[in-house]
């Protein structure tokens, strides 16, 4: 198995590092999702506001911190989506990424982790070779959490998910993975590799674009690629190439109204304990 993200050996030491960040635009967290009655499994996007996926923003920040440590490192952002995805791409460029690749052909739309990872792997090969491929742990709209590992498998490189902290020494990336029960796992990965980030990763939140960064982003390259540019067939990407079918999307059922308790803190605590015991919960 090759250990390079495009099937070739990694660049010789001393050559500038190249970092690819996968970025998705998702519905804003405050947006109410309304199922589309005429299209089961879809939501109505009319009037919906969008924002960069929060998990991916921590991946962008990690890449930029690596660039801060060595200005020769190049950070490339790749995003799949319609024309509106330019907003998320421009935000990443304003934060400090060097250039971007936008897959906005209709053939890329409606993909699942399987078909999305195929498209992103083609980007990594066409625009690489990359020493690091970074992504969010999952997307906040579908929460699959599978695109990163599938991308690593397609590229034939190691992968670690749920990253909370990282250090890079030479051609070795040491990461701390978040596990259940507040546990952490330390993993060492040789470059090139793919890693996905948890929200809250690192010692600081993703940076805000500065006015200077926003102005500079307007001059940075935003390459638009089609399936043909990447040597892909429309039948194997997007909705046509997906392996997962979402049959329906529905709002959670409404429950009975809440009952408000009144009284002092001591009285409230006693009444709450009484009700919990009465229901056999404790």
The answer, yes or no, to whether residue 2 has pLDDT greater than 80, is no
pLDDT at 182: 85
CA angle 241, 128, 99 (to 5 degrees): 95
Q: How many CB atoms lie within 10 A of CB 36?
A: 14
pLDDT tens string 94-123: 999 999 999 999 999 989 999 999 999 999
Q: Which CATH number does the domain 18-241 belong to among 3.40.50.620, 3.90.650.10, 3.90.1010.10, 3.30.379.10?
A: 3.40.50.620
Q: Identify the band that residue 276 occupies on the pLDDT scale cut at 50, 70 and 90.
A: confident
pLDDT tens string 222-254: 999 999 999 999 999 999 999 988 877 777 777
Nearest-Å Rg of the Cα atoms of the chain is 22
Question: CA distances (Å), 150 to each of 86, 102, 129, 145, 186, in order?
Answer: 25, 20, 18, 10, 21
Q: To 10 degrees, the CA torsion angle through 46, 49, 55, 61?
A: 140
What average pLDDT score do residues 177-206 get? 94
**Distance separating alpha carbons of residues 39 and 6, to the nearest angstrom:** 38
pLDDT tens string 9-66: 555 556 789 999 999 999 887 777 777 766 666 677 777 889 999 999 999 999 999 9
Which 8-state DSSP code applies to residue 112? -
**Distance separating alpha carbons of residues 258 and 97, to the nearest angstrom:** 47
The two structure tokens encoding residue 61:
């920040």
Which of 176, 196, 187 minimizes the C-alpha distance to 60?
196
Q: Taking a C-beta distance cutoff of 8 angstroms, is the pair 151, 194 a contact? A: yes
Q: Across the chain, what does the average pLDDT equal?
A: 90
End-to-end Cα separation, the chain, in angstroms: 53
The answer, yes or no, to whether residue 160 has pLDDT greater than 70, is yes
Q: To 10 degrees, the CA torsion angle through 115, 153, 2, 70?
A: 90
């Amino acid at each position: 198995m090759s250990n390079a993200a495009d099937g070739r050996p990694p660049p010789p030491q001393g050559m500038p590092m190249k970092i690819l960040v996968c970025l998705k635009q998702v519905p804003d967290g405050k947006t109410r999702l309304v199922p589309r009655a005429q299209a089961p499994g879809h939501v109505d996007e009319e009037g919906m506001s969008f924002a960069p996926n929060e998990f991916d923003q921590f991946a962008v920040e990690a890449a930029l911190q690596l660039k801060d440590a060595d200005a020769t490192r190049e950070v490339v952002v790749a995003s799949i989506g319609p024309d509106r995805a330019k907003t998320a791409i421009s935000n990443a460029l304003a934060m400090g990424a060097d250039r971007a690749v936008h897959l906005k052909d209709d053939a890329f739309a409606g993909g699942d982790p399987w078909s999305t990872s195929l498209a992103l792997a083609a980007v990594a090969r066409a625009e690489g070779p990359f020493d690091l491929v970074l992504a969010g742990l999952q997307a906040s709209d579908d929460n699959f959490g599978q695109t990163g590992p599938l991308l690593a498998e397609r590229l034939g490189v190691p992968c670690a998910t749920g990253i909370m902290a990282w250090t890079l020494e030479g051609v070795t990336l040491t990461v701390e993975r978040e596990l259940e029960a507040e546990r952490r796992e330390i993993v060492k990965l040789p470059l090139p590799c793919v890693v996905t980030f948890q929200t809250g990763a690192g010692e600081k939140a993703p940076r805000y674009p500065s006015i200077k960064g926003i102005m500079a982003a307007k001059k940075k390259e935003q390459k638009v690629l089609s399936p043909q540019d990447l040597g892909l067939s429309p039948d194997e990407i997007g909705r046509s190439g997906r392996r997962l079918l979402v049959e329906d999307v529905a709002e959670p059922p409404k429950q009975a109204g809440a009952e408000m308790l009144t009284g002092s803190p001591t009285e409230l605590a006693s009444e709450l304990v009484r009700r919990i015991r009465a229901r056999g919960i404790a």
